């Protein structure tokens, strides 16, 4: 296992279309995080899972966004009815937490979304 994989690396879509991104975490990691990064800004937290449970969602995650992590393995982030403001880099990270100790995040290379 070489790290966190994200697919696709780039996605161009027309406004109003739906898009889905996939993240494959490091296999032994039980936590998975989604972040969004717009140009010139730091990553902003969207949501995270511990195993298959979605434990927290940011206010940034509007009802057009949905994330899943079936069986606690890979995760998908879907954006419905995309808007130009959704154009950003979507970063996935995973970590291993046990007894309340988190052993640090590993990030994927991100999916860059452009809505035209």
Q: At CA 19, angle to CA 14 and CA 22, rounded to 5?
A: 145
Binding flag, residue 25, other proteins (CB under 8 A): no
Binding flag, residue 102, other proteins (CB under 8 A): yes
Q: Which is nearer to other proteins, 79 or 91 (CB)?
A: 91
Say if CB 32 and CB 93 are below 8 A apart.
yes
d(CA 83, CA 113): 11
Binding flag, residue 96, other proteins (CB under 8 A): no
Stretch that binds other proteins, among 20-28, 37-45, 61-69, 72-80 (CB under 8 A): 37-45
d(CA 5, CA 9): 9
Binding flag, residue 74, other proteins (CB under 8 A): no
Binding flag, residue 78, other proteins (CB under 8 A): no
Strands 75-79 and 19-24: antiparallel
Which of 2, 42, 53, 98: binder of other proteins (CB under 8 A)? 42
SS3 65: strand
Residue 72's Cβ-count burial label (10 Å; 0-12, 13-18, 19+) is: middle
Least CB distance from residue 81 to other proteins, whole Å? 26
Q: Which is nearer to other proteins, 45 or 74 (CB)?
A: 45
Binding site for other proteins (CB under 8 A): 33, 40-45, 48, 56, 89, 91, 93, 100, 102, 104-110, 112
């Amino acid at each position: 296992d070489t790290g966190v994989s994200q697919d696709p690396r780039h996605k161009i879509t027309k406004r109003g279309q739906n898009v889905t991104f996939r993240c494959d975490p490091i296999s032994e990691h039980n936590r998975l995080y989604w972040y969004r990064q717009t140009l010139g800004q730091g990553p902003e937290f969207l949501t995270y899972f511990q195993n298959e449970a979605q434990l927290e969602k940011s206010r940034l995650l509007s009802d057009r966004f949905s994330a899943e992590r079936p069986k606690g393995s890979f995760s998908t982030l879907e954006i419905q009815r995309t808007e130009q403001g959704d154009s950003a880099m979507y970063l996935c990270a995973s970590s291993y937490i046990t007894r309340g100790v988190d052993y640090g995040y590993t990030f994927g290379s991100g999916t860059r979304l452009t809505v035209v």
